[in-house]
Amino acid sequence: MLIDFFYTLRAAKLPVSVKEFLTLLEALQAGVVDGSVDDFYYLARATLVKDEAHYDKFDRAFGAYFKGVELLTDFTREVPLDWLRKTLELELTPEQKAAIEKLGWDELMETLKKRFEEQNERHEGGSRWIGTGGTSPFGAWGHNPQGVRIGQDKGRNRNAVKVWDQRAYQDYDDARELGTRTIKVALRRLRRFAREGAAEELDLDATIHGTAANAGLLDIRMVPERHNRVKVLLLMDVGGTMDEHVHRVEELFSAAKSEFKHLEFYYFHNCVYDFVWKNNRRRYSEKTPTWDLIRTYNKDYKLVFVGDATMSPYEILQPGGSVEYNNEEPGAEWLRRLTEAFPRFAWINPEPQGVWAYRQSISIVQQLMNQRMFPLTLSGLEGAMRLLSK
């Protein structure tokens, strides 16, 4: 089994040597880990990957090979990988999909706990157990209007209210070459310069007018040096449905880094909760409490969210609704605190504006943002910059 894993890593262009692979096997024989997927992941990464730059490649290769997941909950049981193996693709008519019953949040979580206690074998194509290819709200590769996705490599219908996979996100590239300068031009509307300090720059227009008014005698006029005073706090959604918008968000991020001298940025996933992070590879070990943002940065910072706001409404409104962990307070409460702390704020949405009305979560975020949501288009960016500059 692990021989194929080794070749999968090599196929993913990872510089894994036979000696490192033998070290991994020796560690397994010595019982360094207890057999859980999560422990094996960290052991394999520690023994096989020599450079952090290869972590993302390793994560993708690991997920592609095992296609399984250890639940990131307090439940004592693990979901066997065989339960989540994809062997069929469910196809339902629109009428059949409409007939599937939704469970409320509390009932959904309570039912999932019961399934962990009761289930002891693989199920496929059913409507009750954790499995694949059915209409159960728990598992992978099936269909349910409101369920918990477990062990599926990516979303398909965007109906899951919680996703129990430990996923790796990649940082946005702030050095990406822009295909156009128009994004920079749109962002430049926010830049305000103040005349401060000693007179160090030639004021060409005033010099020309002064010389003309002085009958041709040279009248040199100087002005203080220009300083870029605008401050921006940028919070960017990453991973999940945002993977579809990586290129455009990287263009925006690169332009913002170029245009704003005082730019602070952090990442979040779907909705902001009690912590954000700077580096996606270390988002669990190097968290920044959201309260620290509120306490560290003054009200003169312009707060800009970038995200598609596409998620389960529970992720915004419900404690414990995050797909990443069990948040004690709903995301809506943190959005309220941030917008109160930074009165000049806006939300940039890369999703086409035509679909906004059809996604409940987008409508909820729009309300929380006091309708200060703009599309990631040139006109949308200009509108957001105009609002933030008031």
35-57 pLDDT per residue, tens? 677 788 888 888 998 877 777 78
| pLDDT score recorded for residue 193 | 38
Q: What percent of the chain has pLDDT over 90?
A: 23
CA angle (145 as vertex; 143, 146 as ends), nearest 5: 110
* pLDDT band (50, 70, 90) for residue 307: very high
The single-letter code of the amino acid at 260 is F
Residues forming a β-bridge with 346: 304
- Classify 259 as helix, strand or coil: helix
Closest of 238, 239, 371, 241 to residue 310, by C-alpha = 241
Average pLDDT, the chain: 76
Q: Which two tokens stand for residue 4?
A: 């194929």
3-class secondary-structure state, position 56:
helix
Q: What radius of gyration, in Å, describes the C-alpha atoms of the chain?
A: 26
pLDDT at 119 over 60: yes
DSSP 3-state of 299? coil
Alpha-carbon distance of 32 to 39, in angstroms, equals 9
Residues 42-71, buried b or exposed e (16+ Cβ, 10 A)? ebbeebbbeeeebbeebbebbbebbebbbb
Which pLDDT score, from 0 to 100, does residue 362 have? 95
Strands (E), 218-260: 222-228, 231-237
Confidence bin at 151 (pLDDT 50/70/90): low
Encoding tokens for residue 365?
């975020």
The whole model's pTM is what?
0.53
Contact 25, 2 (CB under 8 A): yes
Which strands form 148-149's sheet, in the order they lie side by side?
A: 131-132, 138-140, 148-149, 162-163
CA dihedral 179→185→186→190, nearest 10 degrees, is 140
Round to whole Å and give the CA distance between 280 and 268: 9
Say if strands 301-306 and 287-289 run parallel, antiparallel, or are unpaired.
unpaired
Distance CA 259, CA 242 (A): 24
Lowest mean pLDDT among 81-85, 183-187, 381-385: 81-85
Q: Note the pLDDT tens digit of each residue in 229-285.
A: 788 999 999 988 888 888 888 888 888 887 788 889 999 999 999 999 998 877 778
C-alpha span between 306 and 178 (Å, rounded) = 18
Higher per-residue confidence, 361 vs 378: 361
Kindly report each contact of residues 24-28 with a partner whose C-beta sits within 8 Å and lies 24 or more positions away, as own/partner: 24/48
- 201, 225 contact by CB (below 8 A): yes
Which range, of 36-45, 58-67, 143-152, 361-370, averages the lowest pLDDT? Answer: 143-152
Contact 212, 204 (CB under 8 A): no
186 pLDDT tier (thresholds 50, 70, 90): low
> Are 350 and 248 in contact, with CB atoms under 8 Å apart?
yes
Does 97 have pLDDT greater than 60? no
Q: Who wins on pLDDT, 337 or 85?
A: 337
pLDDT for 338-359, tens place per residue? 999 999 999 999 999 989 988 8
